[in-house]
């Protein structure tokens, strides 16, 4: 066997995958120790090679599938399992959903002692492929030509991908044209990344990261190659982002009647536009606003949740660290005649302290990054809101934060996972808490 932290050459005896873990790997047991085996399915019988060993567990790679699980399928993408984008393409979609819901339930029940009946069934995606509205494509100019694809897990090695089945079809079309147009040119070795996006109106954008000197002829090539798209050039940090063609503005549609919200290319918006609408509808439903409430929306972005809620409450305060997103939130409110909004550029914690100091909060919306909202949760204990709706993209940090709230005067009314990222282990969720 391999020693701790090293890669071994010996194959293990056959092992059976009994469960899936947070992170997507299969779980087997060998010599009384847990072994994590990525890209396996429950019921697979496999022979592995240990690549990392710790005191209580090991990590392995599946070398041979001796007998496949009934839940296994042939992955539609030829580089699935090699590129770092998808962990679960080899699982039928129903199995993906079942394990996302199970892992989500286990996290909340085990760590937070949530009653099982308060956790609702997962909301599946309408489409398991072609759903992704934006993507960062990695590039490499090899001896055989200009390669576009994605990094191998935990590596900077670019795995070539002709097309990506989880991104929208128009983006695949753009990718093919860009790769063919750039291949063989002097600019190819200076392009490490291309960002592609499509919005709810069908508008596409192309952002080329270019580290060379002369880009005038490159921009002409991009314009002729992608005549339907906004074109941007980035020559280092985001501060160097320059618009070559178009207005660099995208839009999403949420709520009923539809609110059309603008945001900047490069700014944050959910990648699954259809599921985002379901997410917003769920938040609005749980908010159950009567028109008299004061709402605070932390991590508000360009107003994805803020503006649908502002239609239904007395006043709304939105807080966001990115000044550009705040500018768009203000403009979106103005365009839709929502004068009861106040948007501030500040950290979530500073913005919360300022907003809660001015007036009591009837409803607090939290939509933090993957790291969660632990500092906000601690601040809530001293300055409580009557109700909290927590939108999370990571069940582990959610459980950590909920545990604090549930031990300090809040009770969980309901929680529901959403599948915004089919073919991956990632899981979004919405949780409603009430002050006891």
Q: Report, as residue numbers or ranges, the catalytic residues.
A: 393
Q: Could you give the count of Cα atoms lying within 13 Å of 153 in the half-sphere of its Cβ?
A: 14
What one-character-per-residue DSSP string does 167-199 give?
Answer: B-HHHHHHHHHHHHHHTTSTTGGG--EEEEEE-
Alpha-carbon distance of 388 to 398, in angstroms, equals 13
Cα 269–129–165 angle (5° rounding)?
100
Taking residue 402's Cβ as centre, other Cβ atoms within 10 Å add up to 26
> Please, are residues 325 and 305 in contact by the beta-carbon 8 Å criterion?
no
Alpha-carbon distance of 392 to 389, in angstroms, equals 10
> Please, are residues 204 and 230 in contact by the beta-carbon 8 Å criterion?
yes
Query: Among 200, 153, 201, 202, which residue's Cα sits nearest to residue 174?
Result: 202
What is the arrangement of strands in the sheet containing 145-151, beginning at the earlier edge strand? 158-160, 145-151, 134-142, 193-198, 204-209, 229-234, 242-245
Query: Among 275, 304, 309, which residue's Cα sits nearest to residue 132?
Result: 275
Distance from CA of residue 358 to its chain's centroid?
A: 33
Cα 276–281–282 angle (5° rounding)?
95
- Which pair of tokens denotes residue 249? 């503005």
> Please, are residues 310 and 338 in contact by the beta-carbon 8 Å criterion?
yes
Based on its alpha-carbon atoms, the radius of gyration of the chain, rounded to whole angstroms, reads 23
177 conformational bin, left if phi > 0, alpha if psi -120 to 50, beta if neither: alpha
Distance from CA of residue 436 to its chain's centroid?
A: 32
Q: For residue 39, give Cα distances in angstroms to 60, 162, 365.
A: 10, 21, 36
């Amino acid at each position: 066997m391999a020693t701790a932290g090293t890669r071994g050459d010996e194959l293990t005896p056959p092992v059976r995958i009994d469960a899936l873990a947070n992170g997507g790997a299969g779980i087997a047991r060998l010599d009384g120790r847990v072994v994590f085996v990525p890209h396996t399915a429950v019921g697979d019988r496999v022979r592995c090679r240990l690549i990392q060993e710790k005191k209580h567990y090991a990590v392995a790679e599946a070398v041979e599938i001796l007998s496949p699980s009934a839940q296994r399928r042939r992955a539609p993408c030829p580089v699935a399992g090699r590129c770092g984008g998808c962990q679960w393409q080899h699982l039928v979609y129903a199995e993906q959903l079942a394990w996302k819901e199970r892992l989500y339930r286990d996290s909340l029940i085990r760590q937070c002692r949530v009653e099982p009946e308060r956790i609702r069934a997962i909301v599946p995606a309408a489409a398991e492929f072609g759903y992704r509205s934006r993507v960062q494509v990695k590039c490499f100019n090899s001896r055989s030509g200009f390669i576009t694809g994605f990094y191998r897990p935990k590596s900077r090695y670019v795995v070539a991908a002709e097309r990506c089945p989880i991104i929208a079809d128009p983006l695949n079309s753009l990718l093919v044209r860009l790769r063919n147009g750039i291949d063989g040119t002097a600019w190819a070795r200076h392009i490490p990344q291309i960002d592609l996006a499509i919005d709810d109106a069908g508008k596409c954008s192309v952002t080329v990261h270019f580290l060379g000197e002369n880009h005038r002829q490159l921009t002409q090539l991009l314009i002729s190659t992608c005549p339907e798209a906004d074109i941007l050039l980035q020559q280092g940090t985001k501060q160097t982002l320059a618009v070559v063609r178009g207005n660099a503005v995208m839009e999403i549609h949420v709520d009923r009647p539809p609110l059309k919200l603008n945001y900047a290319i490069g700014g944050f918006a959910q990648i699954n536009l259809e599921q985002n609408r379901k997410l917003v509808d769920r938040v609005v439903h749980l908010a159950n606003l009567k028109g008299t409430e004061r709402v605070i929306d932390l991590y508000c972005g360009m107003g994805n949740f803020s503006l649908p809620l502002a239609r239904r409450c007395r006043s709304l305060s939105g807080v966001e660290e990115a000044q550009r997103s705040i500018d768009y939130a203000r403009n979106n409110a103005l365009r839709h005649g929502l004068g009861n909004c106040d948007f501030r550029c500040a950290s979530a914690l500073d913005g919360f302290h300022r907003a809660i100091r001015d007036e009591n909060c009837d409803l607090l919306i939290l939509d933090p990054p993957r790291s969660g909202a632990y500092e906000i949760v601690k601040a809530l204990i001293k300055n409580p809101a009557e109700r909290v709706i927590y939108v999370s993209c990571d069940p582990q940090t959610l459980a950590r934060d909920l545990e604090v709230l549930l031990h300090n005067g809040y009770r969980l009314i309901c929680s529901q996972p959403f599948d915004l990222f089919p073919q991956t282990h990632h899981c979004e969720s919405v949780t409603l808490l009430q002050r006891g």
